[in-house]
Amino acid sequence: MGSVLENLPRESRVAILRLRSLGDCVLTTPALDILRRARPDLRVAVVVEDRFRAIFEDNSDVDEILPPEPLVVRRFQPRLCVNFHGGNRSAWMTAVSGARYRAGFGHFRHRLVYNLHIPRAQEILGVERTVHTAEHLASAMFWLGAPVATVPRAQLVSRATGPVRPLAVIHPVGATPEKTWRADGFLEVAVHLRQSGLDVVVIGAETDDLSPFAGFRVLHGRPLSEIKDVLATATLFVGNDSGPAHMAAAFGLPVVAIFGESDPAIWGPWQTASEVIRAHGGIRNVVASQVIAATARLRVNA
């Protein structure tokens, strides 16, 4: 009978529903790489909110980037629709997509929407350990019929043309207080890196308070395309457990990631030189000397 991918006619259309979350978007790209290698003839669209569109721009594994609107997805006429998001909205888009094959993970709600229920990644990969998010998403492609292989690094494409330079990018904010290290700790690390010969750039969203870093170059609320360009020419990243850390890892930067309660086995930097810093009692108990020591072990071209 063959796998789903084997049964798709040549040049079939595939819709990947991702919708949002910066880190999740970045960690979807290895699955897209695997799909493209398995069936280079397919026309692949990623359905994502406009604010995260830049993550998939210029990626050769993506033919179209679509807004998360049910009628737009239906007009695309996918033969296969894979829901990586799993919420109510994406389930509705899957239902009305018109796709012959509608795939979602087995733990998703609204099971009747899907005629393909993707098993646990551990079952697909034949392991019982905790799996990384990149592996979890990639396992769906293996289950659909792509040859099982090592899950590659995430892929972002930058249009920057300048050379790599001794530059450290610092992202001192997080989604929640439990995932955010102290600003004074980041400031101490930034001062140390500058004194040791690195330029330092601090990045954050428009709503983030970056006032403690007024003495440094600050990129406040800049588009993701610009952040990609900065990361593509940097040599080190230091930040919280957050989306920009996954962006840095996608460019192969050495990453120092400061974690709170999240599991690094699931959310740590993927396929790059990295160190995860934690402390008993929570993220606020991490001390600057831990982070500075990690940067010293990872730094290149300083």
pLDDT in tens, 124-151: 999 999 999 999 999 999 999 999 999 9
Are 15 and 139 members of one domain? yes
| Mean pLDDT (the chain, rounded) | 96
Are 131 and 8 members of one domain? yes
Which residue range forms the structural domain that includes residue 62? 4-144
Number of domains making up the chain? 2
Over residues 163-179, mean pLDDT:
93
Residue 272 — very low, low, confident or very high, per pLDDT cuts 50/70/90? very high
Residue 275 placed within a domain = yes
Picking from 33-37, 76-80, 174-178, 190-194, which range would have the lowest pLDDT averaged per residue? 174-178
Residue 156 placed within a domain = no
Kindly report the CATH number assigned to the domain that includes residue 16. 3.40.50.2000
Instruction: Please report the DSSP string for the chain in residue order.
Output: ---HHHHSPTT-EEEEEEE--HHHHHHHHHHHHHHHHH-TTSEEEEEE-GGGGGGTTT-TT-SEEE-S-HHHHHHH--SEEEESS-SHHHHHHHHHS--SEEEEETT-S-GGG-SEEE--HHHHHT--S---HHHHHHHHHHHHTPPP-PPPPP-------SPP-SEEEEE---SSGGG---HHHHHHHHHHHHHTT-EEEEEE-TTS--GGGTTSEEEES--HHHHHHHHHT-SEEEEESSHHHHHHHHTT--EEEE-SSS-HHHHSPPSSSEEEE--TT-GGG--HHHHHHHHHHH----
pLDDT digits (tens, 9 = 90+) for 201-210: 999 999 999 9
What is the model's pTM?
Answer: 0.96
Residue 165 — very low, low, confident or very high, per pLDDT cuts 50/70/90? confident
pLDDT of residue 163: 82
Are 89 and 186 members of one domain? no
pLDDT of residue 161: 85
Are 107 and 177 members of one domain? no
pLDDT digits (tens, 9 = 90+) for 21-64: 999 999 999 999 999 999 999 999 999 999 999 999 999 999 99
Residue 231 placed within a domain = yes
Residue 158 placed within a domain = no
Residue 164 — very low, low, confident or very high, per pLDDT cuts 50/70/90? confident
Residue 120 placed within a domain = yes
Residue 301 — very low, low, confident or very high, per pLDDT cuts 50/70/90? very low
pLDDT digits (tens, 9 = 90+) for 210-252: 999 999 999 999 999 999 999 999 999 999 999 999 999 999 9
Last residue within a domain, chosen from 144, 177, 201: 144
